[in-house]
Amino acid sequence: MIIPMNVQVNIIINSILAGILTGVLFDIYRIIRGFENPNVIITLIEDILFWILAGILVFIFLLYNSYIYIGPYLFLYIALGLYIYLKLISKYFLKAQYKLILVSLKTWRILKNLILYPIELVVYKIIRKNK
């Protein structure tokens, strides 16, 4: 079956985007997992589960966007997209994720203190009054 040129270009672009999506998922997974390896067996199980989930998500992405014409070039373009992401974008994405995590933790700490401090103050006054 001959595939029209615009569909072929669409498949190539979507395959590269699927590789970039896989890279983004991998960076999110690295942040969640942490960089130290606590146990080889647990890390192996986590990695297998991640790649199964990533494979399913890439399949759904390609099915939705390019009717999943599977050929050897599809995997090459996915690998190309992953390589482009890991070499060009990954370090900036990781820095942004770290900053987002630090800002959200700092915001959480400030909000917790703003909410709990008046309660602690009231409890302290009540306990001090009862003595």
Gyration radius from the chain CA atoms? 24
pLDDT digits over 39-50, tens only?
888 888 989 999
Cα separation, 130 vs 110, whole angstroms: 30
Which residue range forms the structural domain that includes residue 70? Answer: 5-130
Question: What is the model's pTM?
Answer: 0.76
Q: Are 22 and 54 in contact (CB under 8 A)?
A: yes
Range 87-105 average pLDDT: 93
Range of weakest confidence among 16-25, 59-68, 76-85, 111-120: 59-68
Count how many domains the chain has. 1
H and E: helices and strands count for the chain: 4, 0
Residue entry with tokens 């759904």: 60
Range of weakest confidence among 1-10, 22-31, 61-70, 119-128: 61-70
